[in-house]
Amino acid sequence: MHYLQRATGIALTLALLSCPAGAADEVGARGPLVQLLLGVLELDDQTGDWDEISDEEVDVDFSSLPSGSVEVEYTYGGEQVEWGINSGGSVAWKSDDTRFSGGFTGETGGVIRVDLDNSLLLVELHLGGFVRAQLRQGVSVYAAAGPMVMYGEHDVEDEEVEATPQPLDQGTVVLTNSDDNDINIGGYARAGIEFEIAKDQLVGLGVRYMYTKLDFEKTVGELDIKGPQYGLTFTARF
Is the Cβ–Cβ distance between 199 and 7 less than 8 Å?
Answer: no
- In this predicted model, what pLDDT tens digit does every residue of 217-235 receive, in sequence order? 888 888 899 999 999 999 9
High-pLDDT (> 70) share of the chain, % = 69
Residue-number span of the structural domain to which 187 is assigned: 2-237
What domain count does the chain have? 1
Residue 211 CA to residue 190 CA, distance in Å, equals 12
Phi, psi of 109 (to 5 degrees): 70, -150
Among 9-18, 179-188, 191-200, the minimum mean pLDDT is found in 9-18
Is 6's pLDDT higher than 90?
Answer: no
Residue with more model confidence, 130 or 9: 130
| Cα radius of gyration rounded to whole Å, the chain | 22
Residue 235 CA to residue 238 CA, distance in Å, equals 10
Residue 127 CA to residue 8 CA, distance in Å, equals 10
pTM: 0.77
Average pLDDT over residues 145-152: 97
Burial label, 216 (beta-carbon count in 10 A; 0-12, 13-18, 19+): buried
Phi, psi of 19 (to 5 degrees): -100, 100
Residue 233 CA to residue 131 CA, distance in Å, equals 17
Q: Domain containing 11 — which CATH number?
A: 2.40.160.20
